[in-house]
Amino acid sequence: MEYRNLGASGLKVPVLSFGTGTFGGQGPLFSAWGRSGTDEARRLVDICLDAGVNLFDSADVYSNGASEEILGAAIKGRRDKVLISTKMGLPMGEGPLDAGSSRQRLPASVDAALRRLGTDHIDLLQLHAFDAFTPIEEVLSTLDMLVRAGKLRYVGVSNFAGWQLMKSLAIADRHGWPRYVAHQVYYSLLGRDYEWELMPLARDQGVGALVWSPLGWGRLTGKIRRGQPLPQGSRLHATAQFGPPVDDARLYAVVDVLDAIAAETARTVPQVAIAWLLSRPTVSSVIIGARDEAQLRDNLGAVGWSLSADQIKRLDEVSAVMPPYPYYPYRIQEGFARINPLPV
């Protein structure tokens, strides 16, 4: 297993981390993701640790807290061997205090997560979404308080827009509060929007990307083929409406190239798709999920080898989409590109 610094921080993380959204299986979305109970979760954690994957990512909204509870039970007795990342901020109920990142809510949410996880600290806390109703100064000063109390080691965000992240970093610098060192983002061969603004920002500011849904919301598993119906066991039957949309023509074009490279490398389609992500700038770790041991072991096969320059180029070209304004001039007009080239 390769390890990278998480952004500009001193925290070393594995290039593959494990997402525990499959733990618990409560509700229509998370039950479609997976239904791992404590025994199966413990087995998946065992496999991860044996492979050098020691970062486990969760969220309070995953199965209404059950994911964190099962993760806590699965790592019991070996807390010193793992890194725990979790997220909060999305609604956990219908009440006015059941969502957001206010000083009223964050400390209580952190304490609740600590109880569910059975630990006294969280290695990386990420805000699951930008809270437009709470001043950024209030959010950051509260996180500073929680870091100083020893309950959090590092802080990050997820699903922020560029201006939201940059403004937060500037305010943190102004007051000497903890900077966000991680941004958990959607990024895949089917969704490269991260590259347009968030990647240049991350490179400039030292923010590491933790990639969620690296297989395009389950579309790059190797089971979806041109001219064939959606496999009966695919979770897309139940979850497609919750995830990022994908044009079918582009999907099949990407899958065709993935198939060819998988044959050339004697690897699987998911392994090739994840290996491509590991070659991208600013990516600190790719979060893999698995409903069972076979899926996990296959995803773990994405490390220990590399795509060739030609193979990366072919994947780049087939998955490329012209970015919107103001980004496209830097791709297609020489004068723009000469003075400010995009990072990819």
* Residues with catalytic function: 62
H or E element, residue 127: strand 122-127
Residues 269-307 as b/e (b if ≥16 CB within 10 A, e otherwise) read bbbbbbbbbbebebbbbbbbbbbeeebbebbbebbeeeb
Phi, psi dihedrals of residue 56, rounded to the nearest 5°:
-120, 125
Between CA 219 and CA 231 the distance in angstroms is: 11
Which runs of consecutive H residues, i.e. helices, occur in 149-191? 162-175
* Residues 25/36, Cβ–Cβ less than 8 Å: yes
Between CA 171 and CA 292 the distance in angstroms is: 43
Amino acid at 279: S
Between CA 249 and CA 269 the distance in angstroms is: 18
Checking phi first, is residue 27 left (phi over 0); if not, alpha (psi -120 to 50) or beta? left
Strand partners, 14: 3
Between CA 219 and CA 251 the distance in angstroms is: 8
* Residues 44/36, Cβ–Cβ less than 8 Å: yes
H or E element, residue 107: helix 106-117
